[in-house]
Structure 1
Amino acid sequence: MRRQRGAALLLVLWALALLSVLLGGLAGWVQLQSRQALWLRQHTQTVLAAEAGIALVMADRRWIADGRDIALTFDDAQLHVSLRSERGKLYLINAEADDLMRLALACGATQAQADQLIKAFEARRKHGLPPFRVLEEVRQLPGMTQTLYSQLLPQITLWSDLDRPDPAFASPLMRKALNLPRQNAEGADPGVVLVVDSHAQRPGGYQARLQLTVLLSPSEDSAQPYRVLRWQE
């Protein structure tokens, strides 16, 4: 009888221990889900604040599109927004091989890498291949590394329709690489395609960054002031 009672007691203790482990695991899972839900809610609010920064800047077309910082606030978020005209970038469809070569070298390409890129561009034109549809296609070109791509991406465009970048909106790197004159962007026409970069920071260290390439509507009274051509988060 005592042995049976002892075995029963051990069984009960084992069941209690197992139940404690299960309850502990469940409590940990609930806490994890709660933290994830809190992070997701805060992150979503921060992204919405970054979107608000874009809307605030696009509602006022007096800003100069040369990349200068625009400091704003929205609720409890601190915003830093900038506009940059695509006219200051190298238009891949019409770019001269020499300009592309010089830009690639300025972005850190070796001579061998730059030669590969130029050959790939010239081959596309020679064989009548369709032009690039998205900028990400440039990443697949021979000789292109991730480091070179990240440096080259902010300097190239598919939307300016210019043979050479507009010096008024070109970056310092572009002006130096292509030997462009230095011009003031104030009063210059930025065109209808802009890159809007919005960085939002909220209490608690939550941050979000959005970068949109937008096509402006021809009329400021339009119900839709712009159309998004490219979205990065």
Structure 2
Amino acid sequence: MSRQRGAALLLVLWVVGLLSVLLGGLAVSVQLQQRQARWQGNQTQAGLAAQAGFNLAVANLLRDGQARWLADGQVHVAHFAGSTLHISVVSERGKLDLNATPSTSLAKLLRASGATAERSKIITQALRTRRNQVPLRMLEEFRELPGMSYAVYDRALPFITVWSGNAQPDPSLASPTLASVLGLPHYHGPAPDGGPILTVTSQATLPGGFQSRLKATFVLLPAYAGGKPYRVLRWQD
């Protein structure tokens, strides 16, 4: 009898232990689902706020006179639905155009971005060959050139374009970093017109610290007749 009771007790303890494990796993699963739901909710909210920042930038770029935002890289702070927005605008004229730049200028940027002299030569030669066939249409095509690494591409990315058509960046619109790398003349005058092709960076931060960031390059269409006042060339979020 005592053996039967002992066996029954062991069985009960085994069942209790199994239930504890199952309940513990269920609790962890529920917590993970709740966290995932919160993350997705934050992602959606922050993403919509970042898009609102982009729309705000476009609206201010279409304004007249001194109220119009300039493509000078200045960070504008705004608020939307409880989120804090940091928005900046730069002109593609202030960047190095991969379809027009001399090899010497590109080599300087590549070296400053971490490429060795040998790899820089390989990349510039590959780009020259590619341009003789067909111009680059997307920045991602630069990443695919022989000799290119992701690290070098990522460092050079903020300073390159395929949409300006200029052999050299406009010194009045170039970032201080690019101006220094290329040895562009210093510009101290008033901010000029950045042209119609611009890039907006919009970062939204929720009260809890969750962030979402988008970067969009587009053609501004001030004289649009209905529809959107811009045409997107590149969108990252």
* TM-score relative to the length of structure 2: 0.88
1:96 aligns with 2:102: yes
- Report the Cα distance in structure 2 between the residues aligned to 1:199 and 1:186, rounded to whole angstroms: 27
Shift in CA distance, 24/103, structure 1 to aligned 2, threshold 3 Å: closer
Partner of 1:156: 160
Shift in CA distance, 184/83, structure 1 to aligned 2, threshold 3 Å: farther
Q: Report if the CA contact (8 A) 2:94-2:173 is conserved.
A: yes
Partner of 1:124: 130
Aligned length: 231
1:53 aligns with 2:53: yes
Partner of 1:134: 138
Shift in CA distance, 103/9, structure 1 to aligned 2, threshold 3 Å: closer
- Report the Cα distance in structure 2 between the residues aligned to 1:7 and 1:103, rounded to whole angstroms: 77
What letter corresponds to residue 217 of structure 1 in structure 2?
L
| 3-state SS of paired residue (1:60) | helix
Partner of 1:76: 82
Partner of 1:66: 72
Partner of 2:64: none
Alpha-carbon distance, 1:85 to partner? 0.5
| 3-state SS of paired residue (2:60) | coil
1:41 aligns with 2:41: yes
Query: RMSD between aligned alpha carbons?
Result: 2.1
Q: Percent identity?
A: 49
Alpha-carbon distance, 1:64 to partner? 0.7
| 3-state SS of paired residue (1:36) | helix
Gaps of 5+ in 2: 62-67
| 3-state SS of paired residue (1:188) | coil
What letter corresponds to residue 43 of structure 2 in structure 1?
H
Q: Report if the CA contact (8 A) 2:139-2:162 is conserved.
A: yes
- Report the Cα distance in structure 2 between the residues aligned to 1:125 and 1:57, rounded to whole angstroms: 33
- Report the Cα distance in structure 1 between the residues aligned to 2:189 and 2:95, rounded to whole angstroms: 14
| 3-state SS of paired residue (1:73) | strand
- Report the Cα distance in structure 2 between the residues aligned to 1:195 and 1:23, rounded to whole angstroms: 52
What letter corresponds to residue 113 of structure 2 in structure 1?
C
Partner of 1:147: 151
Q: Report if the CA contact (8 A) 2:126-2:145 is conserved.
A: yes
